[in-house]
Amino acid sequence: METVLSGISAITIGQSHIDNKTECQDSAILDFNDKYVMGAVADGHGSKKHFRSAKGSQFAVEAAKYSIYEYMNDNYEKFVDAYNKDKKYLIDRIIKMLITKWHEKIQEDINNEPITQEEIDKYLDGNFNEDKIASIYGTTLLVGVMGEGCNFGFLIGDGSFVVIDKHGKAYIPIEDENSKANYTTSLSSSDSFNGFVTHFFDEMPFSIMVSTDGLVKSFADDNDFLDYNQAIAMELDGLDTVDKRIEMEERLGRLFEQRSRDGSEDDISISIIFNSDAYESVKQGLETRRKLNKIDEQIGLSKKKIVTLDFKQKQIENERNINIENWKKVALEKSKLKQYSEKLIERRNALEEELKKIEREQDELSKKKIELDSSIKQYEEIEKIKSDEQDKNLADKQKEEENIQIKEAEKRRLQDILNN
């Protein structure tokens, strides 16, 4: 019984491309028959100098499909024999044919639609180098192939190459190392052949999922991303008709629209190739691993909470230590204030005794003042009496003196009479 191989793909324009009214630069392609299935995605570079990268990505997946078909379709058994003898040599030849075919498509496009001066001024700031014309079409490329006796994949540039093995385990066997340095290798590079990374499988996996970087960048980490790929793998059962596959592709498209809005905002494309016959055998592994992933996620969250709580505990301990130190300082200050308060009370008591003494002395002085005031009043009354007596005596004296004068005058008058 032959293995039933199948595939689905989906392309979604990124939210940022919608907002900026720019075209989708991703491409995806599938090719499957009763011998093998291939899936590929490509992501045209976003910089303005790569202004035909949307075409470049389409040419890349078409060149991959063409090259693999040329080697594998006519005499599959012969290809498998050659593959098992020298895998790397054979796949390198496919890659070289792919590169050549891509450049041929570029040249054909330029012949049909030459680069205009307007494009040179708008996108290249007036600087056009014909030796680097491929850069205008710059793109990444990821390819997966599954077939009886030969299962392999290769890529150039960023993106994700995810494998679901026969036990339902998701893993990433190859990736572009340059992407970690925020730089992506390009099919347009003059040395692009040496930028390809290749992977060979010892046995057929359940599925290969190649996707552009817009998808993986919509997740917090690789674990979440791999769990998402496993969730997609769970939905690959029963896709035995074109209508069912189209329905699944449309569903993925809607999911990716949400992913792009909430995540990377970039274009997202995916090509999924899989062994339909193996679904039942891998289903249990997928379900178990998803449960394990969920448990791992919960454990991870608990560990994060523990770290947070440990940090908070240290903060509380530090705050307690600071609080204790402050409490000691306050207690010491309180003790000093108590001692000072006691001294003030002592001073206050002493001052109260002094005040009582002063009040007693004031009472004594008040009594003496009253006595003196009484004495002064007596003396003033006596003085008035004596003064009045003195005034009367003086008046009586004056009156007597006046009488004497009158008598003397009378005496002189009488003497004068006698003498005359």
Looking at residue 180, its pLDDT comes to 61
CA–CA distance, 393 with 401 (Å, rounded to integer):
12
CA angle 159, 269, 154 (to 5 degrees): 40
Looking at residue 311, its pLDDT comes to 86
Of 114-123, 193-202, 327-336, give the range with the top mean pLDDT.
Answer: 193-202
Residue with tokens 């039933």: 4
Residue with tokens 């066997």: 173
Residue 1 reports pLDDT greater than 60: no
Span 200-244, pLDDT tens digits:
999 999 999 999 999 999 999 999 999 999 999 999 998 988 999
Residue 188 reports pLDDT greater than 90: yes
Of the given ranges (18-27, 285-294, 358-367), which has the lowest mean pLDDT?
285-294
Q: What is the DSSP string of 42-61?
A: EEB--SGGGTTHHHHHHHHH
Residue 133 CB partners (closer than 8 Å, separation 6+): 106, 110, 115
Span 131-161, pLDDT tens digits:
789 999 999 999 999 999 999 999 999 999 9
Q: What are phi and psi of 412, to 5 degrees?
A: -65, -40
Span 333-388, pLDDT tens digits:
888 888 888 888 888 888 888 878 888 888 888 888 888 888 888 888 888 888 88
What percent of the chain is predicted at pLDDT more than 90?
52
Q: Which residue type occupies 328? A: K
The CATH number of domain 5-306 is 3.40.50.1980: no
Looking at residue 155, its pLDDT comes to 97
CA distances 73 to 69, 77, 92, Å, are 5, 9, 17
CA–CA distance, 243 with 264 (Å, rounded to integer):
30
Q: In 3D, which of 126, 170, 176, 148 has the Cα closest to residue 80?
A: 148
- E strands of 33-110, at which residues? 36-43
Residue 418 reports pLDDT greater than 80: yes
What percent of the chain is predicted at pLDDT more than 70?
98
Span 263-285, pLDDT tens digits:
989 999 999 999 999 998 888 88
Looking at residue 2, its pLDDT comes to 64
The chain-wide mean pLDDT, for the chain, equals: 90
Specify the DSSP element, H or E, that contains 317: helix 279-419
Residue 3 CB partners (closer than 8 Å, separation 6+): 148, 204, 275, 277, 278
Looking at residue 134, its pLDDT comes to 93
Domain locations along the chain: 5-306
Looking at residue 291, its pLDDT comes to 80
Q: In 3D, which of 179, 138, 114, 131 has the Cα closest to residue 48?
A: 138
The pair of structure tokens assigned to 353 is 């005794």
Provide the greatest CA pair distance for the chain: 209
Q: If you ran DSSP here, which 8-state letter would residue 136 be given?
A: G
Name beta bridge partners: 199.
153
Residue 101 reports pLDDT greater than 80: yes
Q: Which residue type occupies 3? A: T
CA–CA distance, 291 with 224 (Å, rounded to integer):
13
Number of other residues whose CB lies within 10 A of the CB of residue 135: 20
CA–CA distance, 307 with 348 (Å, rounded to integer):
59
Looking at residue 293, its pLDDT comes to 73
Looking at residue 181, its pLDDT comes to 59
Looking at residue 179, its pLDDT comes to 67
Q: Which residue type occupies 98? A: L
Interval 76-100 mean pLDDT: 96
